[in-house]
A and B are shown apart, each in its own frame.
Chain A
Amino acid sequence: MPKPSVRVSALHYAYPDGNKALNGVDLTIAKGERVALLGPNGAGKTTLVMHLNGILSPTSGSIDIGEFALDEKNKEVTKKVREKVGIVFQDPDDQLFMPTVYEDVAFGPTNMGLADEEIERRSTRALEMVGMIELKDRAPHHLSFGQRRRVAVATVLAMEAEILILDEPSSNLDPASRRELSEILLALDVTILMVTHDLPFAFEICERSLILNQGAIVADEATVTILRNSQLLAANRLELPKGFVI
Protein backbone atom coordinates (compact mmCIF):
# COMPACT_ATOMS: atom_id res chain seq x y z
CA MET A 1 0.00 0.00 0.00
CA PRO A 2 1.49 3.37 -0.99
CA LYS A 3 2.23 5.97 1.66
CA PRO A 4 -0.61 8.43 2.19
CA SER A 5 -0.06 11.95 0.79
CA VAL A 6 -0.74 13.56 4.14
CA ARG A 7 -0.77 12.02 7.59
CA VAL A 8 -1.26 14.16 10.67
CA SER A 9 -1.38 12.60 14.11
CA ALA A 10 -2.20 14.09 17.50
CA LEU A 11 -1.36 17.57 16.30
CA HIS A 12 -1.50 20.23 18.99
CA TYR A 13 -0.67 23.85 18.41
CA ALA A 14 -0.82 26.90 20.64
CA TYR A 15 -0.01 30.40 19.40
CA PRO A 16 2.81 32.23 21.22
CA ASP A 17 0.19 34.15 23.22
CA GLY A 18 -1.03 30.84 24.66
CA ASN A 19 -4.19 30.70 22.55
CA LYS A 20 -4.80 27.01 21.70
CA ALA A 21 -5.66 26.67 18.02
CA LEU A 22 -5.38 22.92 17.43
CA ASN A 23 -6.19 20.28 20.04
CA GLY A 24 -5.20 16.89 18.74
CA VAL A 25 -5.92 16.72 15.02
CA ASP A 26 -5.68 13.31 13.32
CA LEU A 27 -6.18 12.94 9.60
CA THR A 28 -4.98 10.91 6.66
CA ILE A 29 -5.37 11.80 3.01
CA ALA A 30 -4.57 9.20 0.36
CA LYS A 31 -2.79 10.02 -2.86
CA GLY A 32 -5.09 11.56 -5.46
CA GLU A 33 -7.94 12.16 -3.01
CA ARG A 34 -9.88 15.42 -3.04
CA VAL A 35 -10.88 16.47 0.45
CA ALA A 36 -12.79 19.51 1.70
CA LEU A 37 -11.93 20.99 5.08
CA LEU A 38 -15.05 22.62 6.48
CA GLY A 39 -15.65 24.48 9.69
CA PRO A 40 -16.77 27.79 11.17
CA ASN A 41 -14.62 30.93 11.30
CA GLY A 42 -11.87 30.59 13.85
CA ALA A 43 -11.98 26.79 13.91
CA GLY A 44 -8.26 26.54 13.15
CA LYS A 45 -8.50 25.63 9.46
CA THR A 46 -5.85 28.07 8.25
CA THR A 47 -3.61 27.18 11.21
CA LEU A 48 -3.84 23.52 10.21
CA VAL A 49 -3.00 24.35 6.60
CA MET A 50 0.07 26.32 7.67
CA HIS A 51 1.39 23.19 9.37
CA LEU A 52 1.24 21.08 6.23
CA ASN A 53 4.25 22.75 4.62
CA GLY A 54 6.19 23.58 7.72
CA ILE A 55 5.35 27.29 8.00
CA LEU A 56 4.11 26.62 11.52
CA SER A 57 5.58 23.88 13.67
CA PRO A 58 3.41 21.83 16.01
CA THR A 59 3.62 22.18 19.77
CA SER A 60 3.27 18.40 19.81
CA GLY A 61 2.28 15.69 17.34
CA SER A 62 3.61 14.70 13.95
CA ILE A 63 3.06 15.50 10.28
CA ASP A 64 4.11 13.25 7.41
CA ILE A 65 3.95 14.41 3.79
CA GLY A 66 4.50 11.36 1.57
CA GLU A 67 7.78 9.80 2.67
CA PHE A 68 8.90 12.94 4.55
CA ALA A 69 8.39 13.54 8.26
CA LEU A 70 8.28 17.28 8.84
CA ASP A 71 10.81 18.48 11.36
CA GLU A 72 11.41 22.11 12.21
CA LYS A 73 15.15 21.63 12.43
CA ASN A 74 15.60 19.75 9.19
CA LYS A 75 15.70 22.50 6.55
CA GLU A 76 16.36 20.05 3.73
CA VAL A 77 13.13 18.14 4.41
CA THR A 78 11.19 21.39 4.79
CA LYS A 79 12.44 22.49 1.37
CA LYS A 80 11.40 19.16 -0.20
CA VAL A 81 7.98 19.36 1.46
CA ARG A 82 7.42 22.88 0.17
CA GLU A 83 8.09 21.61 -3.35
CA LYS A 84 5.51 18.85 -2.84
CA VAL A 85 2.84 20.92 -1.12
CA GLY A 86 1.50 23.95 -2.93
CA ILE A 87 -0.67 26.40 -1.01
CA VAL A 88 -2.97 28.87 -2.74
CA PHE A 89 -3.67 31.59 -0.21
CA GLN A 90 -6.97 33.34 0.26
CA ASP A 91 -5.93 36.81 -0.89
CA PRO A 92 -4.19 36.71 -4.28
CA ASP A 93 -2.52 40.04 -3.47
CA ASP A 94 -0.58 38.21 -0.78
CA GLN A 95 0.54 35.58 -3.22
CA LEU A 96 1.41 37.67 -6.26
CA PHE A 97 4.31 39.97 -5.50
CA MET A 98 6.49 39.98 -8.60
CA PRO A 99 6.26 42.78 -11.19
CA THR A 100 4.67 40.59 -13.88
CA VAL A 101 2.41 37.54 -13.97
CA TYR A 102 5.00 35.40 -15.72
CA GLU A 103 7.78 36.24 -13.27
CA ASP A 104 5.50 35.40 -10.39
CA VAL A 105 4.66 32.01 -11.83
CA ALA A 106 8.37 31.40 -12.46
CA PHE A 107 9.25 32.33 -8.86
CA GLY A 108 8.61 28.87 -7.37
CA PRO A 109 10.36 26.83 -10.09
CA THR A 110 13.36 29.21 -9.93
CA ASN A 111 13.66 28.65 -6.20
CA MET A 112 13.64 24.91 -6.89
CA GLY A 113 16.86 25.45 -8.84
CA LEU A 114 15.53 24.10 -12.15
CA ALA A 115 17.16 24.72 -15.54
CA ASP A 116 15.95 27.74 -17.52
CA GLU A 117 14.12 25.71 -20.20
CA GLU A 118 12.34 23.69 -17.53
CA ILE A 119 11.30 26.86 -15.68
CA GLU A 120 9.91 28.27 -18.91
CA ARG A 121 8.13 25.03 -19.83
CA ARG A 122 6.46 24.73 -16.44
CA SER A 123 5.49 28.39 -16.18
CA THR A 124 4.02 28.45 -19.67
CA ARG A 125 2.13 25.21 -19.08
CA ALA A 126 0.75 26.40 -15.74
CA LEU A 127 -0.46 29.65 -17.29
CA GLU A 128 -2.05 27.73 -20.16
CA MET A 129 -3.87 25.44 -17.72
CA VAL A 130 -5.55 28.39 -16.03
CA GLY A 131 -6.10 30.22 -19.33
CA MET A 132 -3.91 33.20 -18.47
CA ILE A 133 -1.08 32.82 -20.96
CA GLU A 134 -2.10 35.91 -23.00
CA LEU A 135 -1.76 38.10 -19.93
CA LYS A 136 1.66 36.85 -18.89
CA ASP A 137 3.39 40.23 -19.21
CA ARG A 138 0.76 42.15 -17.26
CA ALA A 139 1.31 43.50 -13.77
CA PRO A 140 -0.83 41.70 -11.15
CA HIS A 141 -2.59 44.89 -10.09
CA HIS A 142 -3.93 45.35 -13.61
CA LEU A 143 -5.87 42.08 -13.44
CA SER A 144 -9.39 41.45 -12.15
CA PHE A 145 -9.81 39.57 -8.89
CA GLY A 146 -10.86 36.37 -10.68
CA GLN A 147 -7.84 36.57 -12.97
CA ARG A 148 -5.53 37.11 -9.99
CA ARG A 149 -6.97 34.05 -8.27
CA ARG A 150 -6.28 32.01 -11.40
CA VAL A 151 -2.71 33.28 -11.58
CA ALA A 152 -2.30 32.39 -7.89
CA VAL A 153 -3.34 28.83 -8.74
CA ALA A 154 -0.86 28.83 -11.63
CA THR A 155 2.01 29.88 -9.34
CA VAL A 156 1.50 26.64 -7.44
CA LEU A 157 0.81 24.47 -10.49
CA ALA A 158 4.15 25.57 -11.94
CA MET A 159 5.89 23.88 -9.02
CA GLU A 160 4.15 20.63 -10.07
CA ALA A 161 3.13 20.10 -6.48
CA GLU A 162 1.67 16.69 -5.64
CA ILE A 163 -0.59 18.13 -2.98
CA LEU A 164 -2.59 21.25 -3.68
CA ILE A 165 -4.02 23.15 -0.73
CA LEU A 166 -6.50 25.93 -1.40
CA ASP A 167 -7.67 28.39 1.24
CA GLU A 168 -11.19 29.62 0.37
CA PRO A 169 -10.64 29.30 -3.39
CA SER A 170 -14.19 30.30 -4.37
CA SER A 171 -14.49 33.37 -2.15
CA ASN A 172 -15.17 36.68 -3.93
CA LEU A 173 -15.46 35.04 -7.33
CA ASP A 174 -18.33 35.69 -9.70
CA PRO A 175 -20.31 32.55 -10.66
CA ALA A 176 -18.56 32.10 -14.01
CA SER A 177 -15.08 32.48 -12.48
CA ARG A 178 -16.10 30.03 -9.78
CA ARG A 179 -17.19 27.48 -12.38
CA GLU A 180 -14.00 28.00 -14.41
CA LEU A 181 -11.95 27.42 -11.27
CA SER A 182 -13.80 24.20 -10.51
CA GLU A 183 -13.16 23.01 -14.07
CA ILE A 184 -9.45 23.73 -13.64
CA LEU A 185 -9.31 21.88 -10.32
CA LEU A 186 -11.26 18.86 -11.57
CA ALA A 187 -8.88 18.52 -14.53
CA LEU A 188 -5.85 18.18 -12.23
CA ASP A 189 -4.39 14.84 -11.26
CA VAL A 190 -3.23 15.79 -7.77
CA THR A 191 -4.23 15.41 -4.14
CA ILE A 192 -6.40 18.37 -3.13
CA LEU A 193 -7.22 19.74 0.30
CA MET A 194 -9.65 22.62 0.05
CA VAL A 195 -10.57 24.90 2.93
CA THR A 196 -14.00 26.37 2.27
CA HIS A 197 -17.34 27.63 3.57
CA ASP A 198 -18.87 27.17 0.16
CA LEU A 199 -20.61 23.81 0.66
CA PRO A 200 -21.92 23.40 -2.91
CA PHE A 201 -18.39 24.04 -4.16
CA ALA A 202 -17.05 21.37 -1.79
CA PHE A 203 -19.75 18.99 -3.02
CA GLU A 204 -18.80 19.63 -6.63
CA ILE A 205 -15.09 19.00 -6.20
CA CYS A 206 -14.45 16.82 -3.18
CA GLU A 207 -15.73 13.32 -2.58
CA ARG A 208 -14.72 13.46 1.08
CA SER A 209 -15.10 16.17 3.72
CA LEU A 210 -13.70 16.91 7.16
CA ILE A 211 -15.24 19.25 9.69
CA LEU A 212 -12.84 21.04 12.00
CA ASN A 213 -14.28 22.76 15.06
CA GLN A 214 -12.48 24.19 18.07
CA GLY A 215 -9.21 22.72 16.92
CA ALA A 216 -10.36 19.12 16.46
CA ILE A 217 -11.80 17.01 13.63
CA VAL A 218 -15.44 16.34 14.48
CA ALA A 219 -16.53 14.64 11.27
CA ASP A 220 -14.76 12.76 8.49
CA GLU A 221 -17.09 11.24 5.90
CA ALA A 222 -18.26 11.33 2.31
CA THR A 223 -19.25 14.90 1.39
CA VAL A 224 -22.79 13.74 0.50
CA THR A 225 -23.27 12.14 3.92
CA ILE A 226 -22.05 15.23 5.73
CA LEU A 227 -24.15 17.63 3.69
CA ARG A 228 -27.28 15.52 4.28
CA ASN A 229 -26.76 15.58 8.04
CA SER A 230 -28.39 18.90 8.83
CA GLN A 231 -27.91 18.48 12.59
CA LEU A 232 -24.17 18.00 12.18
CA LEU A 233 -23.97 21.04 9.92
CA ALA A 234 -25.98 23.19 12.32
CA ALA A 235 -23.82 22.14 15.27
CA ASN A 236 -20.79 23.45 13.37
CA ARG A 237 -22.29 26.68 12.11
CA LEU A 238 -22.48 25.39 8.55
CA GLU A 239 -25.50 25.85 6.29
CA LEU A 240 -26.40 24.88 2.78
CA PRO A 241 -27.82 27.69 0.64
CA LYS A 242 -31.60 27.91 0.89
CA GLY A 243 -33.28 25.59 -1.61
CA PHE A 244 -30.15 23.52 -2.20
CA VAL A 245 -31.00 19.81 -2.01
CA ILE A 246 -28.69 16.89 -2.56
Chain B
Amino acid sequence: MYIHRHSLVHELPGHIKLVAFFAFIIIAVLTPIQQWQSFVGYFLIIFLALALSKLPPLTLAKRATIEFPFIIFAILMPFTAGGEMFDIGPLNLSREGSIAGLNLITKATLGVFCSMILAGSTTAHSLLAGFVRIKTPSLFVQIAAFMIRYLNVINDQMARMKVARESRGFQAQGIRSWPIFTSTLGALFIRSYERGERVHLAMLSRGYAGTLSSLSVENVQPKHWRVGLIFPFLAALSFLIGRVFFS
Protein backbone atom coordinates (compact mmCIF):
# COMPACT_ATOMS: atom_id res chain seq x y z
CA MET B 1 0.00 0.00 0.00
CA TYR B 2 2.94 2.31 0.68
CA ILE B 3 3.92 4.72 -2.10
CA HIS B 4 7.37 6.20 -1.72
CA ARG B 5 7.58 10.01 -1.87
CA HIS B 6 9.48 12.70 -0.02
CA SER B 7 6.89 14.88 1.60
CA LEU B 8 5.91 16.57 4.84
CA VAL B 9 3.27 13.90 5.45
CA HIS B 10 5.63 11.00 4.72
CA GLU B 11 8.25 12.14 7.18
CA LEU B 12 5.86 12.36 10.14
CA PRO B 13 6.46 9.54 12.65
CA GLY B 14 3.80 6.81 12.69
CA HIS B 15 2.33 7.54 16.11
CA ILE B 16 1.74 11.22 15.34
CA LYS B 17 -0.04 10.28 12.12
CA LEU B 18 -2.18 7.78 14.01
CA VAL B 19 -3.13 10.32 16.66
CA ALA B 20 -4.01 12.92 14.00
CA PHE B 21 -5.90 10.29 11.99
CA PHE B 22 -8.04 9.08 14.88
CA ALA B 23 -8.70 12.61 16.19
CA PHE B 24 -9.82 13.74 12.74
CA ILE B 25 -12.08 10.72 12.22
CA ILE B 26 -13.68 11.06 15.64
CA ILE B 27 -14.46 14.74 15.10
CA ALA B 28 -15.90 14.00 11.64
CA VAL B 29 -18.01 11.06 12.78
CA LEU B 30 -19.47 12.96 15.73
CA THR B 31 -20.56 15.90 13.54
CA PRO B 32 -24.31 15.69 12.72
CA ILE B 33 -24.83 15.55 8.94
CA GLN B 34 -27.26 18.50 9.05
CA GLN B 35 -24.29 20.69 9.96
CA TRP B 36 -23.11 20.42 6.35
CA GLN B 37 -20.81 23.45 6.38
CA SER B 38 -18.39 21.52 8.63
CA PHE B 39 -18.14 18.73 6.09
CA VAL B 40 -17.07 21.16 3.38
CA GLY B 41 -14.25 22.07 5.74
CA TYR B 42 -13.36 18.41 6.37
CA PHE B 43 -13.07 17.69 2.66
CA LEU B 44 -10.89 20.77 2.19
CA ILE B 45 -8.60 19.48 4.95
CA ILE B 46 -8.36 16.10 3.23
CA PHE B 47 -7.42 17.77 -0.06
CA LEU B 48 -4.81 19.81 1.77
CA ALA B 49 -3.32 16.62 3.25
CA LEU B 50 -3.45 14.93 -0.13
CA ALA B 51 -1.66 17.83 -1.81
CA LEU B 52 1.00 17.95 0.92
CA SER B 53 1.58 14.20 0.70
CA LYS B 54 2.33 14.35 -3.08
CA LEU B 55 0.57 11.00 -3.47
CA PRO B 56 -0.79 10.23 -6.98
CA PRO B 57 -4.56 11.03 -6.78
CA LEU B 58 -5.46 8.58 -9.56
CA THR B 59 -3.93 5.60 -7.75
CA LEU B 60 -5.68 6.58 -4.54
CA ALA B 61 -8.98 7.01 -6.41
CA LYS B 62 -8.66 3.46 -7.74
CA ARG B 63 -8.03 2.17 -4.25
CA ALA B 64 -11.01 4.14 -2.93
CA THR B 65 -13.34 1.95 -5.01
CA ILE B 66 -13.33 -0.33 -1.98
CA GLU B 67 -16.12 1.97 -0.76
CA PHE B 68 -18.60 0.96 -3.51
CA PRO B 69 -20.51 -1.71 -1.56
CA PHE B 70 -21.27 0.86 1.14
CA ILE B 71 -22.45 3.39 -1.43
CA ILE B 72 -24.88 0.86 -2.91
CA PHE B 73 -26.20 0.15 0.55
CA ALA B 74 -26.54 3.87 1.27
CA ILE B 75 -28.40 4.48 -2.01
CA LEU B 76 -30.95 1.84 -1.05
CA MET B 77 -31.66 3.44 2.31
CA PRO B 78 -34.06 6.22 1.14
CA PHE B 79 -36.22 3.58 -0.57
CA THR B 80 -36.34 1.09 2.22
CA ALA B 81 -36.61 3.22 5.37
CA GLY B 82 -40.00 4.32 6.68
CA GLY B 83 -41.21 7.48 8.39
CA GLU B 84 -42.04 10.77 6.70
CA MET B 85 -41.99 10.48 2.89
CA PHE B 86 -41.37 13.07 0.17
CA ASP B 87 -41.28 13.06 -3.66
CA ILE B 88 -38.48 13.92 -6.06
CA GLY B 89 -39.80 13.51 -9.61
CA PRO B 90 -41.19 9.98 -9.87
CA LEU B 91 -39.39 8.79 -6.74
CA ASN B 92 -41.06 8.48 -3.35
CA LEU B 93 -38.34 8.74 -0.71
CA SER B 94 -38.10 8.50 3.05
CA ARG B 95 -36.73 11.61 4.71
CA GLU B 96 -35.00 9.68 7.49
CA GLY B 97 -33.56 7.20 5.02
CA SER B 98 -32.18 9.96 2.81
CA ILE B 99 -30.50 11.66 5.72
CA ALA B 100 -29.06 8.38 7.00
CA GLY B 101 -27.83 7.44 3.51
CA LEU B 102 -26.20 10.82 2.98
CA ASN B 103 -24.65 10.56 6.43
CA LEU B 104 -23.20 7.14 5.62
CA ILE B 105 -21.80 8.15 2.22
CA THR B 106 -20.20 11.36 3.47
CA LYS B 107 -18.56 9.88 6.53
CA ALA B 108 -17.48 6.68 4.78
CA THR B 109 -15.87 8.72 1.99
CA LEU B 110 -14.02 10.85 4.53
CA GLY B 111 -12.84 7.73 6.33
CA VAL B 112 -11.71 6.00 3.16
CA PHE B 113 -9.77 9.04 1.93
CA CYS B 114 -8.08 9.42 5.30
CA SER B 115 -7.11 5.75 5.35
CA MET B 116 -5.77 5.94 1.79
CA ILE B 117 -3.55 8.89 2.66
CA LEU B 118 -2.38 7.24 5.87
CA ALA B 119 -1.65 3.89 4.19
CA GLY B 120 -0.03 5.47 1.15
CA SER B 121 2.33 7.66 3.14
CA THR B 122 3.30 5.33 5.99
CA THR B 123 5.40 2.16 5.81
CA ALA B 124 4.02 -0.92 7.53
CA HIS B 125 6.92 -0.72 9.91
CA SER B 126 6.28 2.91 10.84
CA LEU B 127 2.60 2.10 11.47
CA LEU B 128 3.52 -0.77 13.79
CA ALA B 129 6.02 1.36 15.68
CA GLY B 130 3.30 4.02 15.89
CA PHE B 131 0.80 1.59 17.39
CA VAL B 132 3.40 0.60 19.98
CA ARG B 133 4.02 4.27 20.84
CA ILE B 134 0.34 5.04 21.38
CA LYS B 135 0.19 2.08 23.77
CA THR B 136 -1.96 -0.27 21.73
CA PRO B 137 -2.16 -3.63 23.55
CA SER B 138 0.97 -5.55 22.61
CA LEU B 139 -0.99 -8.58 21.45
CA PHE B 140 -2.72 -6.58 18.69
CA VAL B 141 0.56 -5.12 17.45
CA GLN B 142 2.16 -8.55 17.44
CA ILE B 143 -0.70 -10.07 15.48
CA ALA B 144 -0.46 -7.26 12.93
CA ALA B 145 3.33 -7.59 12.71
CA PHE B 146 3.16 -11.33 12.11
CA MET B 147 0.42 -10.92 9.56
CA ILE B 148 2.52 -8.49 7.53
CA ARG B 149 5.61 -10.65 7.81
CA TYR B 150 4.04 -14.00 6.95
CA LEU B 151 1.50 -12.91 4.36
CA ASN B 152 4.40 -12.80 1.91
CA VAL B 153 5.70 -16.20 2.95
CA ILE B 154 2.27 -17.81 2.62
CA ASN B 155 1.64 -16.08 -0.69
CA ASP B 156 4.92 -17.45 -2.04
CA GLN B 157 4.00 -20.87 -0.80
CA MET B 158 0.63 -20.67 -2.51
CA ALA B 159 2.30 -19.57 -5.76
CA ARG B 160 4.74 -22.51 -5.55
CA MET B 161 1.87 -24.94 -4.99
CA LYS B 162 0.07 -23.49 -8.01
CA VAL B 163 3.15 -23.94 -10.17
CA ALA B 164 3.59 -27.48 -8.87
CA ARG B 165 -0.05 -28.27 -9.67
CA GLU B 166 0.15 -26.88 -13.17
CA SER B 167 3.52 -28.53 -13.87
CA ARG B 168 1.76 -31.85 -13.50
CA GLY B 169 -0.85 -30.96 -16.05
CA PHE B 170 -3.61 -29.56 -13.84
CA GLN B 171 -5.96 -27.07 -15.46
CA ALA B 172 -8.72 -25.36 -13.52
CA GLN B 173 -11.96 -26.27 -15.24
CA GLY B 174 -15.24 -25.52 -13.53
CA ILE B 175 -16.68 -27.30 -10.58
CA ARG B 176 -14.72 -30.50 -11.08
CA SER B 177 -11.46 -28.80 -10.10
CA TRP B 178 -12.86 -27.58 -6.78
CA PRO B 179 -11.75 -30.63 -4.77
CA ILE B 180 -8.19 -29.90 -5.90
CA PHE B 181 -8.45 -26.29 -4.71
CA THR B 182 -9.89 -27.28 -1.37
CA SER B 183 -7.16 -29.82 -0.75
CA THR B 184 -4.55 -27.21 -1.70
CA LEU B 185 -6.11 -24.84 0.81
CA GLY B 186 -6.15 -27.59 3.41
CA ALA B 187 -2.47 -28.32 2.82
CA LEU B 188 -1.69 -24.61 3.02
CA PHE B 189 -3.56 -24.33 6.30
CA ILE B 190 -1.68 -27.28 7.84
CA ARG B 191 1.65 -25.95 6.64
CA SER B 192 0.95 -22.47 7.98
CA TYR B 193 -0.15 -23.94 11.27
CA GLU B 194 3.03 -25.97 11.54
CA ARG B 195 5.10 -22.97 10.57
CA GLY B 196 3.39 -21.03 13.33
CA GLU B 197 4.54 -23.64 15.80
CA ARG B 198 8.10 -23.58 14.47
CA VAL B 199 8.23 -19.77 14.61
CA HIS B 200 7.01 -19.89 18.19
CA LEU B 201 9.75 -22.38 19.10
CA ALA B 202 12.34 -20.16 17.44
CA MET B 203 11.04 -17.20 19.46
CA LEU B 204 11.14 -19.15 22.73
CA SER B 205 14.71 -20.16 21.94
CA ARG B 206 15.67 -16.51 21.94
CA GLY B 207 13.96 -15.78 25.22
CA TYR B 208 10.55 -14.52 24.04
CA ALA B 209 8.40 -13.67 27.04
CA GLY B 210 5.35 -11.98 25.56
CA THR B 211 6.49 -8.71 23.99
CA LEU B 212 8.22 -7.63 20.80
CA SER B 213 10.12 -4.84 22.48
CA SER B 214 12.89 -4.61 19.91
CA LEU B 215 10.68 -2.70 17.44
CA SER B 216 12.75 0.42 16.91
CA VAL B 217 11.46 3.88 17.68
CA GLU B 218 11.42 6.77 15.22
CA ASN B 219 12.99 10.17 15.78
CA VAL B 220 10.49 12.83 16.76
CA GLN B 221 11.00 16.56 16.41
CA PRO B 222 8.63 19.15 17.94
CA LYS B 223 7.89 20.28 14.37
CA HIS B 224 6.35 16.88 13.64
CA TRP B 225 3.74 17.29 16.36
CA ARG B 226 2.89 20.78 15.11
CA VAL B 227 2.43 19.57 11.53
CA GLY B 228 0.52 16.46 12.54
CA LEU B 229 -1.89 18.16 14.91
CA ILE B 230 -2.74 20.89 12.40
CA PHE B 231 -5.20 18.51 10.70
CA PRO B 232 -7.39 17.65 13.70
CA PHE B 233 -7.08 21.28 14.82
CA LEU B 234 -8.46 22.52 11.49
CA ALA B 235 -11.19 19.89 11.76
CA ALA B 236 -12.18 21.13 15.21
CA LEU B 237 -12.23 24.69 13.86
CA SER B 238 -14.41 23.59 10.97
CA PHE B 239 -16.74 21.85 13.42
CA LEU B 240 -17.14 25.05 15.45
CA ILE B 241 -17.77 27.21 12.38
CA GLY B 242 -20.40 24.74 11.20
CA ARG B 243 -21.95 24.78 14.66
CA VAL B 244 -22.32 28.60 14.50
CA PHE B 245 -24.08 28.41 11.10
CA PHE B 246 -26.25 25.54 12.27
CA SER B 247 -27.54 27.26 15.37
Contacts and interface: CB of A to CB of B under 8 A. Distances in A.
A67 interface: no
Given A93-B195, A141-B153, A111 B201 contact: no
Contacts of B52: none
Interface residues of A, number: 35
Given A98-B212, A99-B148, A140-B149, 10 more contacts: A53-B205, A55-B204, A79-B207, A83-B207, A91-B195, A99-B145, A108-B207, A112-B207, A119-B214, A141-B153
A141 B149 contact: yes
Given A94-B198, A99-B124, A141 B152 contact: yes
A95 B202 contact: yes
Contacts of A99: 124-125, 128, 145, 148-149, 215
Interface in B151-170: 152-153
Given A97-B146, A97-B149, A98-B214, A82 B198 contact: no
B183 interface: no
27 contacts: A55-B204, A55-B205, A82-B204, A82-B206, A82-B207, A86-B205, A86-B206, A87-B202, A89-B198, A89-B201, A89-B202, A93-B153, A94-B195, A95-B202, A97-B146, A98-B215, A99-B125, A99-B128, A99-B149, A102-B216, A107-B208, A108-B206, A109-B214, A111-B208, A112-B207, A119-B214, A139-B125
Interface string B204-244: 11111100111110000000000000000000000000000
Contacts of A85: 205
Contacts of A95: 199, 202
Contacts of B150: 97
Interface in A84-136: 85-87, 89, 91, 93-95, 97-100, 102-104, 106-112, 119
A168 to B, nearest CB: 13
A155 B214 CA distance: 12
A6 B145 CA distance: 36
A50 interface: yes
Interface in B175-214: 195, 198-199, 201-209, 212-214
Contacts of A112: 207
Interface in A127-162: 139-141, 155-156, 159
